[in-house]
Structure 1
Amino acid sequence: MAEKQTHPIRPPQGNTSDTPSTLSETAYVALSQMIQERSLPVGRPIVETQLADMLGVSRTPLRQALQRLEAEGLLRKSESRSYVVRRVELREYLQSLKVREVLEAEAAEMAIGRIAPEAISRARAHVQAVQGRKPYDMLAHWASDDEIHDLFIDACGNQVIINILKSLRVTTKLFEIERLSERLEPDSSQHESILDALYSGNAVATRQAVVDHLRSLADFAVRVL
């Protein structure tokens, strides 16, 4: 009998040392990676039996993982009731970036003095490691991207702002995964500028670094699309 093939699951990257502890968590990590690598294309119905076999899990933990991704806004139910990766159009992307520009700049300023210098240094080391990888590692990029933005979003001290920004980042990330993958590498230098500003404690520079980064993404999307 041929050996069952499973989707290779990489350890989580970024600022966490956690590893999947349950089958549903294992499936969640694998599916998240598949979305980020675009091996689960936007809009194509997910066939649960095939996916469960590919991942080497039963339907129950797979469905738990799918439901979690739906709750986070990464998946939606199609008219046929199958799960699909959610498509984000340019208009929604640009509008989401505009709201992020306002709230994320505010969150970054609010986080000044609330982030341990060691955490900023770790995030800087990770982003520099991403820059040095050839070929460019998309999963490592997204892990670093999440680490940097979550660093100041989580530290801002306002749970309403945190929840709104987490939701908006799912929307913009889905668009970038599908349509702006060639734009990912320049993000690293802008991320370093944000970290430098946070480390310095300069509120004006911190806000500007965040605004410049988000406007750069919007300008690039309009220019190429």
Structure 2
Amino acid sequence: MSITHAMEPSSLQLRQAAAASPADARDLVEEAYSTMLDMIQLGKLPINRPLQERTLASALGVSRTPLREAMSRLIGAGFAVRTARGQLIVPEPSLRQYLEIFQMRVLLEGDAAAAAATRMPPAEAAALLQQVEEIRRRQHATHEENHRVDNLLHDSIARASGNRLMAQAIHDLRIKARCFDQNGAPERLIPGCDEHIAVLQAIVNRNPEAARAAMQAHLSNVRVGLVARHTEI
């Protein structure tokens, strides 16, 4: 999906016009930052391609000031870098960096799943399980839908751990991992659903060690599949 100039005012544009306080301005920066993170994960801001400030400002419906602040946050978080020419790009992690990211994810998300098995409200776990089972039943999901449910599941489990620092670290690591594999893996849809269901069933059953093992097995399978795909290239 390419970035095009919007003909109708976006929600960000309308909010920008109404922004009259520092808090409103911060909200615009936060929303622009979050939107760009989603675009990175969905491949709408491709790796190693210069980010055009004017085009992004038009697509997001914000002025240059909040956009530049949001872009500075991307740089500070390691999701974007300046090249020698001064261009801003989304860098592609090396395979070694990707493996290090997944080593951290296995440890942190295993702990988060175990904690969630004692802390996540049963209704929340059941609602997540229902969404994953629906995709599994249909055996189909768009890239955007799969991305949304995958993010919801992993972020919800991380938050349910009760450790805000760990939840933020997991969130950031997952985005960096997506930079390495923006197109996703359609062949992993059904196996991924089955693995997510195993994690959620362990959480519903209040079994911390089963939840930890299921999450770690899931992440190991994702890592193996991605390494195999990139080895073939």
> What TM-score, normalized to structure 1?
0.79
**1:13: which partner in 2?**
none
**Aligned counterpart in structure 1 of residue 205 of structure 2, from 200, 204, 212:** 200
1:187-223: CA deviations, max 9, x gaps?
2221111111111111221111011101101211222
- Check 1:202–1:220 CA distance in 2 against 1; reply closer, same or farther (3 A cut): same
**2:178: which partner in 1?**
173
TM-aligned CA deviation for residue 168 of structure 1: 2.0
Letter in structure 2 aligned against 1:204: E
TM-aligned CA deviation for residue 116 of structure 1: 0.5
**1:138: which partner in 2?**
143
**2:41: which partner in 1?**
36
Structure 1 contact 141–184 (Cα < 8 Å) conserved: no
- Check 1:69–1:183 CA distance in 2 against 1; reply closer, same or farther (3 A cut): farther
**Aligned counterpart in structure 2 of residue 63 of structure 1, from 64, 68, 73:** 68
- Check 1:26–1:160 CA distance in 2 against 1; reply closer, same or farther (3 A cut): closer
Identity over the aligned pairs, expressed in percent? 29
Structure 1 contact 36–139 (Cα < 8 Å) conserved: no
Structure 1 contact 35–41 (Cα < 8 Å) conserved: yes
Structure 1 contact 36–138 (Cα < 8 Å) conserved: no
| In structure 2, C-alpha distance between the alignment counterparts of 1:74 and 1:60, rounded to whole Å | 19
Residue 124 (structure 2) pairs with residue 122 (structure 1): no
**Aligned counterpart in structure 2 of residue 182 of structure 1, from 186, 189, 194:** 186
Structure 1 contact 52–58 (Cα < 8 Å) conserved: yes
1:36-88: CA deviations, max 9, x gaps?
33222101111112222333332112223323333443222222233211311
- Check 1:71–1:37 CA distance in 2 against 1; reply closer, same or farther (3 A cut): same
TM-aligned CA deviation for residue 32 of structure 1: 3.2
| In structure 1, C-alpha distance between the alignment counterparts of 2:62 and 2:80, rounded to whole Å | 19
Q: How many residues align?
A: 211
**Structure 1 spans left out of the alignment, 5+ residues:** 11-20
Residue 153 (structure 2) pairs with residue 148 (structure 1): yes
Deviates more, 1:143-152 or 1:180-189: 180-189
Query: RMSD across aligned C-alpha pairs, in angstroms?
Result: 2.9
- Check 1:165–1:134 CA distance in 2 against 1; reply closer, same or farther (3 A cut): closer
| In structure 1, C-alpha distance between the alignment counterparts of 2:188 and 2:29, rounded to whole Å | 29
Larger helix percent: 2
| In structure 2, C-alpha distance between the alignment counterparts of 1:81 and 1:28, rounded to whole Å | 20
Letter in structure 1 aligned against 2:32: A
| In structure 1, C-alpha distance between the alignment counterparts of 2:7 and 2:36, rounded to whole Å | 9
**1:113: which partner in 2?**
118
**Structure 1 SS opposite 2:118:** coil
Letter in structure 1 aligned against 2:88: Y
Letter in structure 1 aligned against 2:199: I
**Structure 2 SS opposite 1:177:** coil
| In structure 2, C-alpha distance between the alignment counterparts of 1:107 and 1:53, rounded to whole Å | 39
